[in-house]
A and B are shown apart, each in its own frame.
Chain A
Amino acid sequence: MADTVLFEFLHTEMVAELWAPDPDPGPGGQKTSLTVLESMGFRVGQTLGERLPQETLGFREELDVLRFLCKDLWVAVFHKQMDSLRTNHQGTYVLQDNSFRLLIPMASGLQYVEEAPKFLAFTCGLLCGTLHTLGFQSLVTAFVTALPACKFQVVIQKP
């Protein structure tokens, strides 16, 4: 079905557009692009956090919210569930996706590992925004060791 790839194509263009006009990508320039991508993801996450749980009943605790992220949010955006969720029960969660949709078309292995983080910035913002709407301040970072698998580390900040 063509509609599952529409978002992927749009996302690829977004990253290309934000990176291309930077003739001298010094450390400042790169960081701004990452921030723009993350803030875009944040706003999208805020609206998804409002619309997706509309029919479900209230979340009882933090773990429920993370489970919602791994199942409902991931299925809605990437048409598959998150492969694994681990936690230290003290506010840090590691979400692992073994075949992340946005990285699949790139490579399978170690090629392009340095380029991968910019393709994960939007998704980090997405997770952060959804958590923000559902009431949690968080810090989301992404790690790639071998494409297309990636890990998102979510640290919930206590107020």
Chain B
Amino acid sequence: MAVCVAVIAKENYPLYIRSTPMENELKFHYMVHTSLDVVDEKISAMGKALVDQRELYLGLLYPTEDYKVYGYVTNSKVKFVMVVDSSNTALRDNEIRSMFRKLHNSYTDVMCNPFYNPGDRIQSRAFDNMVTSMMIQVC
């Protein structure tokens, strides 16, 4: 169960950020911001390594005592960052991957919306509903 989901544009500004417990919003914003450095590190490390194929899923970015932060980058350099509760140890890698895939699909749908200008904040209700379903789902 994700406690915070963020979509960050190529130029590193947030297109969408939402967290569950409303009081700690600033803390999550700060965590997402610091995780961007780790994302950039991973991307440049992948670029230098002579691996045949680059993965889109970045995996666990960094763990803290209460939370774990996961990252995913698309081919258009849009980053998805997800913060999950550490106490939820039942959450496996596969499940995180499938959550990111759902996010990616919904983001692509938002891009295809003719009323959406690339680079604006995401205001689509369909996207909101999908994120809500990810945040309240109990494993």
What's the nearest-Cβ distance from chain B to residue A153, in Å?
23
- Per-position 1/0 for B103-133, Cβ under 8 A of A: 0110110011010001000000000000000
Which single residue of chain A is at the shortest CB-CB distance from B77?
Answer: A135
Please give the distance in Å from B71's CB to the nearest CB on chain A: 13
Min Cβ gap A77→B in Å is 15
Interface SS, A side: helix
Contact B74–A57 (Cβ < 8 Å): no
Residue interface mask A59-77, B partner, CB < 8 A = 1: 1100000000000000000
Contact with A along B40-54 (1 / 0, CB 8 A): 000000110000011
Residue in B46, B53, B54, B74 whose CB lies within 8 Å of A50: B74
Do residues A134 and B75 form an inter-chain contact, with CB atoms below 8 A?
Answer: yes
Q: Is the CB of A60 within 8 A of B76?
A: no
Rounded to whole angstroms, the CA-CA distance of A58 and B46 in the bound complex is 10
Are B76 and A133 in contact, CB atoms less than 8 angstroms apart?
yes
Q: Which residues of B contact A57 (CB under 8 A)?
A: 53-56
- The distance from the CB of A22 to the nearest CB of chain B, in whole angstroms, is 25
List A contacts of B114 (CB < 8 A). Answer: 43
B73 within 8 Å of A (CB atoms) = yes
Contact A58 B55 (CB under 8 A): yes
User: A47 CA to B113 CA in the complex, in Å?
Assistant: 9
B10 at the interface (CB under 8 A from A): yes
Select one of B54, B108, B118 contacting A51, CB under 8 A: B108
Q: Which of A46, A54, A133 is close to B104, meaning CB atoms less than 8 Å apart? A: A54
Minimum C-beta distance from A35 to chain B (A): 18
On chain B, the residues within 8 Å of A60 by CB distance are 47, 54
Q: Which residues of A contact B54 (CB under 8 A)?
A: 57-60
The smallest C-beta distance from A37 to any residue of chain B, in angstroms, reads 17
Say how far A40's CB is from chain B's closest CB, in angstroms. 11
Complex formed: what's the CA distance from A47 to B47 in Å? 25
Which chain B positions have C-beta within 8 A of A59?
A: 54, 75
A157 is an interface residue with CB less than 8 A from chain B: no
Tell me which of A46, A54, A58, A135 contacts B118 (CB under 8 A): A46
Q: Is the CB of A47 within 8 A of B55?
A: no
Residue of A nearest to B43 (CB): A58
Contact with A along B56-73 (1 / 0, CB 8 A): 100000000000000001
Cα A95 to Cα B75 in complex, Å, equals 22
**Residues on the B chain within 8 Å of A56, using CB:** 75
In the complex, which residues 130-145 of chain A have their Cβ closer than 8 Å to any Cβ of chain B? 133-135
Question: Which A residues contact B (CB, under 8 angstroms)?
Answer: 43, 46-47, 49-51, 53-54, 56-60, 133-135
Query: Known contacts A54-B105, A56-B75; can you find 18 more A-B pairs with CB under 8 A?
Result: A46-B111, A50-B108, A50-B112, A51-B111, A54-B104, A54-B108, A57-B53, A58-B46, A58-B53, A58-B54, A58-B55, A58-B73, A59-B54, A60-B47, A60-B54, A134-B75, A135-B76, A135-B77
